[in-house]
Amino acid sequence: MKIPLGHPDIGKDEIQAVTETMKSGWVTQGRKVEQFEDAFANYCGTKHGIAANSGTAALHLALAALDIKPGDEIITTPLSCVATTNPILYQGARPIFVDVEPETLNINPELIERRITPKTKAILPVHLFGHPVDLDPLLEIAQNHNIPVIEDAAQAHGARYKGTRVGSFGHTSCFSFYADKLITTVEGGMALTNDPETAYKMRLLRSLGMTKENKFYHPVLGYNYKMPDISAAIGLIQLRKLDSYIEKKRGNIAYLKDQINHSNLKLPGELDYAFNVYYVSHVLAEREKDKEKIVAYLTRKEIETRPLLSFIPEQPPYKKYGYNLKELRTAKNAHEKGFYFSNSPSLTQEQLSYLASALKKSVEETQQ
């Protein structure tokens, strides 16, 4: 591919950090993990960081720490990576899907309250593609009903809502450090919280339910979700680069929007309350058949694309719940008409120009 979806920016500093950690003789969860937890929690403006071996694991820890049980309901978005909702099923609970806003593709706060029942135990919004959810109305609803909020910020490291970084608003928040995220630990994730009791529970659960004070004593059923020091060493270096990555990503989008703002492609935007970190370049075509032609053209030009994540209610593990898809039309429509491509901070000006030209020509093909 001339423009692959992306690859992690692993440089000499990350390699040196890994080498030093390997030479230290301590490679599993240890001091480096504690340093990374403290540094990332401080960056996001929270008190406690609980590192895990994936963003999915972090979400599972957050739900388990809230003692989510079979029969409970969690309100969330139908348009996301399935990792958002799989942990809900792990706990035997049921996702309750609320449609998204057409502009941001984030969960629509205006539709949440009508879906709350006595079984509702949490609201799980996703800051999709790096654009913050409109949090004030969502948090007001949650507070009025005494329901905790878990922010899925897997794609939104450094994004801000009304000037404050996401991940600091909910009872808990969760991030991913997978290879294609804004920063990477290769595999990894983290949960953040200001509540010391929740932090203690999540640390207990991630380490097989074993207490630090009593080795091989397991008061609860836990999981093996630990992050190794090798990953944390990479994360500490990556965190230093995060703001520069965000600046480059925002510049990439500004350039593409300037070049193709007269086409019938809808590129990501930024509402007044938001500071968008533009995890990827996601695009909506006017019609599904247009999207198919555009994606085929870009593939011929060796520009890698992906579908607009998952429309989760139609995934096989979720069909049995019989969701009313008519209530989720905006999300389904976006999934059918949308796709995304790289917004890597390593894209050169030559690659950006090639991208812009290919996008414009691909639209021309749909009009023939």
Residues recognised as catalytic: 181
Distance spanning both ends of the chain, measured CA to CA: 26
Please name the residue that has the structure tokens 């969502």.
138
Among positive and negative, which fits the CA dihedral 314, 319, 321, 325? positive
Contact between 59 and 152 (Cβ < 8 Å): yes
Alpha-carbon gap, residue 13 to 10, rounded angstroms: 8
Coil, strand or helix at 311: strand
Q: How many residues does the chain have?
A: 368
The number of beta carbons lying within 10 Å of the beta carbon of residue 314 is 14
Say how far residue 206 (Cα) sits from the centre of its chain.
Answer: 20
Nearest to 345 by CA among 270, 267, 269, 278: 278
Q: Provide φ and ψ at 357, rounded to 5°.
A: -65, -45
Nearest to 330 by CA among 82, 95, 98: 98
Among positive and negative, which fits the CA dihedral 39, 44, 45, 46? negative
Which residues lie closer than 8 Å to 80 by C-beta, 6 or more apart? Answer: 126, 128, 152, 309, 310, 312
For 147, 272, 287, 320, the CA distances from 335, given in Å and listed in that order, are: 29, 25, 11, 20
| Single-letter residue type at 57 | A
Contact between 137 and 119 (Cβ < 8 Å): no
Contact between 188 and 54 (Cβ < 8 Å): yes
